[in-house]
Every structure is written in structure tokens, then in C-alpha cells.
């Protein structure tokens, strides 16, 4: 797939050494079969008609103030934004367990589907849009907000 | 050997074609793995980066602006996930400006796996002794199929004009390491490949 039109200083010796290294890399360090299996399976996670929310703030990113440590618990704040709706999330980490407090901002959400590698659970926000998820296993999580007028807004997968 | 274009595969996958999706996975998983390993991530972290990158593509199906540039998009996404992983684990982030070609690599050695030829094993050890910046660039260039320089440029956030010269310097460095270790590269390049599967 290399673009032949590019002007570079590659010598035949370099090309040959690189070709040899490519062969060795394929032997010494191939992508494990499991990575292919998981990648194929990812296609089933498609949510065709959902609006995608964007992660606009994450206190775990560098340059952000450390939100707080309560005893052995760490607190992380995330904000997601979509055209119609927002989601504020507070994640309390204790070891490999996570407790979430979320608030849906904007239109009322009938339900929030919390998806993890291990499955999904449905929670129902109260009239202020607040919901709780207790004792989640650390890992990749995404949330699908079922907003009242039939719209579903999905967050990206986020490692919590 | 005619291949269906990336654009066609992506469009078909967007229309729900599982076979097209699987073809994309077949074609580019090795590239993503190479990006992760080039950043010196261990096996579990590298696998996680690959998986996250494919999930990002699933989320963004129908939103990819420039389908021909999909390999670059995938590799860039993978690099961002690598940097996130490195930050989380408190490891030092790679810098583009670090021109210290003699900095020793401090990452954990990769498993050299089942290398049949002793000389290949030694060559790979030399590769792993290269400075991180060289490993990042060369490892992605070693992906099969090899990415275009435009994709590498996007993936590593390097000016496209710097890739060729840096590649040359890194390979020279590799040759020097081989010499230091008494490994002869003569005939290695063209060596008979007939016994490979």
C-alpha cells in the first residue's frame, strides 16, 4: 500500500533490511488471534440510529485538577455532550469496583442502559435526571440514554 | 492480486456487511498491534488498545470523512489510546522533539517468541535495543500490509518529509547495533526465504 509517488531517500539496502525485519516481526510479535476475534465481535456493538455523545471533560486527563480522594476511594468526573442532551458522571473507584452517580441534563430520560463487557443493566433516573449504579467491575463502559421522545444517545466506550 | 478498496469495504460495513467488516479487521489489526507495540505496551495493554480502536470505528461508522485515509484514522486513534494507557500507568510519554538517538530503551523487553533462525532472533534483539523513537517509527513501518507514509505521518503526528530520513537514520542505528554485537547482516536481506510458510 506504500505510495510509489512519494519522493523519499529509501535505498534498496534499507528496503531489504525492512522487509527482513517485517518477516521477523511477523514471527516474533504477531497480533494474537484473540485481538482479531474481539475486533470481529465489535461489529455487533453497533448502534445504528443512536446519536453519539462526545466526552468533553474527564478529570483523569492530564492538566485537570485532581478531583479528590476520599480515604481509599478516588473520585473522577466526566462530562458527555450531545446535541440534545448532556450527561454528568461521577465515578468513585475502590480497587477494581466502580460506583457511578450520573445526571442526565436536558430532556428527561426514561432509562439509562449501562453496558459493560460483562453485560448490561438498566437504571431509571429520578425526576431530576439523577441515577446510580453500584459496584460495577472496572473496565470499558458505555451508557445509552433513552430520551423521552424516542431518541437514544450513546456515549463512547470509556475505560472506568 | 486485486483487492477490494478500503473505501468499498468501509461503505459496505456501514451498510451492515459483516464480511466487509471482517475484511477490514483482517487487513488492519496488525497495523494497530504494531502501533501499540511500537509504543512499548505489554501484551494485555496492546490488545486493549487494538480492541478500543475497533470499538471507536464501530461508533464512528458513517462518520469517517475520508475513507481512503481509514488506515491513518485507525492508527491515529490507536496512538491516542496508547498515550492514554501510558498516562494511566504513569509511564513517561514519548516526545517528538527528543532527538537523543542514543537514549537507551527502558521499556520491558518484548517476548521474542518463536524465532526459528538464531540470526533473526539476534536481529530482533537489536531492534528491541533501539531507542523508543526509532522503535515507534520502524514498528509501524513493519506492519503487514505496510502503511503509506501519509498514514504513518497521521498516525505518529510526524511531518511526512521526516519519515524517510528518520527511517534511514534508525536503520543505520540498527546496523551499528548489529555490528557492535558481532551480527553480520551480509546476505541477510536477500537470504533465501524459500522455507517460509
**Does residue B193 lie within any of the structural domains?**
no
State the pLDDT at residue B145. 86
Which value does ipTM take for this structure? 0.81
Contact, A7 vs B160, CB < 8 A? no
Nearby residues of B177 by Cβ (< 8 Å), 6 or more positions away: B126, B129, B130
* Residue B117 three-state SS: coil
- In the stretch 150-169 of chain B, residues with CB closer than 8 A to chain A read 150, 160, 163-165, 167-168
pLDDT digits (tens, 9 = 90+) for B92-137: 666 544 444 444 444 445 554 555 578 888 899 999 999 999 999 9
Across the interface, of B32, B147, B193, the residue whose CB is closest to A1 is B147
Q: Which domain does B48 fall in, by range?
A: 6-93+103-180
User: How many residue pairs from chains A and B have C-beta atoms closer than 8 A?
Assistant: 156
**Does residue B185 lie within any of the structural domains?**
no
Q: How far apart are CA B170 and CA B160, in angstroms?
A: 16
Distances (CA, A) of A34 to A102, A141, B32, B100, B155: 33, 20, 14, 36, 23
Q: pLDDT tier at A46 (50, 70, 90 boundaries)?
A: confident
State the pLDDT at residue B197. 36
* Mean pLDDT (chain B, rounded): 83
Of residues B49 and A64, the one with the higher pLDDT is B49
Q: Domain A48-159 is in which class?
A: mainly beta
Question: Do the Cβ atoms of A17 and B163 come within 8 Å?
Answer: no
Q: How far apart are CA B123 and CA B114, in angstroms?
A: 14
Of residues A61 and B134, the one with the higher pLDDT is B134
Distances (CA, A) of B179 to B115, B122, B143, B175: 20, 11, 25, 6
Domain count across chain B:
1
From the CB of residue A118, how many other CB atoms can be counted at a distance below 10 Å?
A: 9
From the CB of residue B79, how many other CB atoms can be counted at a distance below 10 Å?
A: 24
Q: How far apart are CA B189 and CA B182, in angstroms?
A: 17
State the pLDDT at residue B1. 43
State the pLDDT at residue A60. 81
State the pLDDT at residue B120. 87
Of residues A117 and A153, the one with the higher pLDDT is A153
Query: In chain A, which residues have their Cβ closer than 8 Å to the Cβ of B68?
Result: none
DSSP 8-state symbol, B106: -
pLDDT for residue B180 is more than 70: yes
Q: pLDDT tier at A11 (50, 70, 90 boundaries)?
A: confident
Of residues B45 and B91, the one with the higher pLDDT is B45
Query: In chain B, which residues have their Cβ closer than 8 Å to the Cβ of A36?
Result: 25-26, 29
What's the per-residue H, E or C state across B5-45? Answer: CHHHHHHHHHCCCHHHHHHHHHHHHHHHHHHHHHCCCCHHH
Q: pLDDT tier at A149 (50, 70, 90 boundaries)?
A: confident
Q: How far apart are CA A113 and CA B106, in angstroms?
A: 43
State the pLDDT at residue B190. 47
Per-domain residue ranges for chain A? 12-44, 48-159
State the pLDDT at residue B143. 93
State the pLDDT at residue A3. 47
- In the stretch 73-112 of chain B, residues with CB closer than 8 A to chain A read 84, 87-88, 110-112
Q: Cis bond leading into B145, ω under 30°?
A: yes
- Range with the lowest mean pLDDT among A27-41, A64-78, A92-106, A143-157? A64-78
C-alpha angle B128/B132/B135, rounded to 5°?
55
Amino acid at each position: 500500500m506504500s505510495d510509489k509517488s512519494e519522493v523519499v531517500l529509501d535505498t534498496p539496502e534499507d528496503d531489504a533490511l525492512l522487509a527482513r525485519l517485517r518477516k521477523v516481526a511477523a514471527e516474533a510479535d504477531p497480533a494474537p488471534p484473540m485481538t482479531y476475534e474481539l475486533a470481529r465481535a465489535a461489529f455487533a456493538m453497533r448502534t445504528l440510529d443512536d446519536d453519539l455523545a462526545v466526552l468533553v471533560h474527564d478529570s483523569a486527563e492530564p492538566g485537570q485538577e485532581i478531583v479528590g480522594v476520599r480515604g481509599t476511594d478516588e473520585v473522577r468526573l466526566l462530562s458527555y455532550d450531545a446535541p440534545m442532551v448532556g450527561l454528568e458522571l461521577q465515578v468513585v473507584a475502590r480497587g477494581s469496583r466502580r460506583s457511578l452517580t450520573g445526571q442526565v441534563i436536558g430532556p428527561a430520560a426514561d432509562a439509562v442502559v449501562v453496558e459493560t463487557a460483562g453485560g448490561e443493566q438498566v437504571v431509571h433516573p429520578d425526576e431530576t435526571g439523577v441515577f446510580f449504579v453500584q459496584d460495577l467491575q472496572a473496565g470499558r463502559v458505555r451508557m445509552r440514554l433513552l430520551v423521552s421522545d424516542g431518541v437514544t444517545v450513546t456515549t463512547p466506550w470509556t475505560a472506568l | 492480486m486485486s483487492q477490494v478498496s478500503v473505501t468499498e469495504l468501509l461503505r459496505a460495513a456501514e451498510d451492515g456487511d459483516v464480511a466487509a467488516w471482517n475484511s477490514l479487521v483482517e487487513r488492519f489489526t496488525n497495523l494497530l498491534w504494531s502501533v501499540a507495540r511500537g509504543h512499548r505496551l505489554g501484551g494485555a495493554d496492546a490488545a486493549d488498545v487494538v480492541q478500543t480502536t475497533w470499538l471507536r470505528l464501530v461508533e464512528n461508522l458513517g462518520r469517517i470523512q475520508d475513507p481512503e485515509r481509514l488506515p491513518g484514522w485507525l492508527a491515529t486513534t490507536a496512538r491516542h489510546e496508547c498515550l492514554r494507557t501510558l498516562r494511566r500507568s504513569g509511564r513517561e510519554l514519548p516526545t517528538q522533539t527528543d532527538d537523543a538517538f542514543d537514549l537507551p530503551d527502558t521499556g520491558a523487553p518484548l517476548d521474542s517468541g518463536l524465532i526459528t533462525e538464531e540470526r533473526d532472533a539476534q536481529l530482533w534483539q537489536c531492534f528491541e535495543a533501539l531507542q523508543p523513537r526509532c522503535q515507534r517509527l520502524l514498528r509501524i513501518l513493519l506492519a503487514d500490509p505496510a502503511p503509506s507514509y501519509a498514514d504513518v505521518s497521521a498516525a505518529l503526528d510526524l511531518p511526512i518529509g521526516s519519515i524517510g530520513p528518520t527511517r534511514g537514520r534508525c536503520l543505520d542505528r540498527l546496523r551499528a547495533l548489529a555490528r557492535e554485537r558481532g551480527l553480520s547482516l551480509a546476505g541477510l536481506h536477500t537470504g533465501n526465504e524459500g522455507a517460509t510458510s
